[in-house]
Amino acid sequence: MSNAEKEFVVTIRNAELVDIPEVFQMLKELTDSEKLPQNLIIDQVTFQKDYSEKAFNCLVAQTPNGSFVGYSVYCQTYSTWEGRMLHLRDLYVRPQQRGSGVGKKLFTTTMEKGYELGCKVAFFFVMQWNPAVKFYKELGAVNLTENENYHIFKLKSDNFNKICSN
């Protein structure tokens, strides 16, 4: 029986402050899997502080024995064209649970949370090579780079600080 065919029991719930160290560990796993560990500039203390100050929302996927197998980080933002939007920043499932339905449960629960916040649309970034691109397209997501010719820019901290310190 394949991983996808097995019944995998998992609870999706709002993260508690005590969960954040484990979420941060999974965040490190995510940056490693994307071969971008150097991009993880934030430390666990700051991450935990930001969560306690409600800078972002977080859901965790947990098995009945208490193991964490995934998480999502999201926040509300605003589109002047469409109104309230959900920004899904991270959705991560540990490799051994991929294909078990955990990712879909995390994704749909995150979207439901956005809906409860009054969001009308959601957006998120996916690495080009990530096999999850197919999963998101099957759920109806549209690649804005392909369909609307958008380019996504980032002002990194050194240039952000340079602009803000003048």
Per-residue model confidence as pLDDT tens digits over 36-73: 888 899 999 999 999 999 999 999 999 999 999 999 99
pLDDT in tens, 121-165: 999 999 888 899 999 999 999 998 888 878 788 888 888 889 898
pLDDT tops 80 at residue 4: no
Separation of alpha carbons 122 and 68, rounded Å = 25
pLDDT tops 60 at residue 17: yes
Which is it for the CA torsion 110, 114, 116, 121, positive or negative? negative
Which is it for the CA torsion 150, 120, 122, 155, positive or negative? positive
Tell me if 11 sits within 8 A of 59, measured CB to CB: no
pTM score, two decimals? Answer: 0.89
Domain coordinates in residue numbering, the chain: 11-164
Angle between helices 44-52 and 20-33 (to 10 degrees): 120
Please indicate whether residue 136 is annotated as part of the active site: yes
Beta strands in 80-144 (DSSP E): 83-93, 121-124
Which residue out of 51, 71, 92, 136 is catalytically annotated?
Answer: 136
Tell me the pLDDT band of 1, cut-offs 50, 70 and 90. very low
Report which secondary-structure segment, H or E, holds 111.
helix 102-116
Separation of alpha carbons 60 and 71, rounded Å = 4
Separation of alpha carbons 50 and 71, rounded Å = 16
CATH architecture of 11-164: 3-Layer(aba) Sandwich (3.40)
